[in-house]
Amino acid sequence: FLCPCLIYGAYVFLPFDAPLLPTVTARLVYTLRCAAFATFPIVLGMIVNGISRLCSSALEPFGELHQEVEIHRTYVSQSVPLFILYFFNMAVLATYLPQELLKLIPLLTGLFAISRLIFWLSYAIGRSFRAFGFSMTFLPLLAMLLWNLYGMFILEPENLLA
């Protein structure tokens, strides 16, 4: 319930609008530019993972990893496929949204980045706390997928492969 409330609150109260994007190409470029910001938590995780491997007390660099190194490696390895799914769903979503709702693209990007950081923090605290961060990532992804399928098969079935 938190994700829709956050997106709605940001949509209503943040004072920005999406630029006029009349073509599909312009919308995809806009989505690509927004998605670049969503890579920040993943790149940060890679940097922290590298630093933690360098500072690890393990004598063999390719040996068994310590828990503090394993947390960062797992975070990065789980975040990359989620980002790919998120990006492709946002790209398809940008082609179906009307102009006045294109403000959702940067908001969903920000939600993804914040939720991955929350997941990382909660995963470092304890594995039992990570469900909140994961659900903040996965549930908007699921909602985008359902909306995209609805748009493709119900709203515009004649343009499914066009």
**pTM to 2 decimal places:** 0.84
Domain 22-161 top-level CATH class: mainly alpha
> From CA 109, how far away is CA 90, in angstroms rounded?
9
What token pair was written down for 136? 């903040």
Which residues, 6+ apart, have CB-to-CB distance to 104 below 8 Å? 7, 11, 93, 97
Q: Which is it for the CA torsion 47, 48, 52, 53, positive or negative?
A: negative
pLDDT per position as a tens digit, 29-85: 999 999 999 999 999 999 998 888 777 765 565 666 677 778 888 889 999 999 999
What token pair was written down for 74? 């797992």
Residue spans of the domains in the chain: they are: 22-161
The answer to whether 68 touches 55, Cβ cutoff 8 Å, is: no
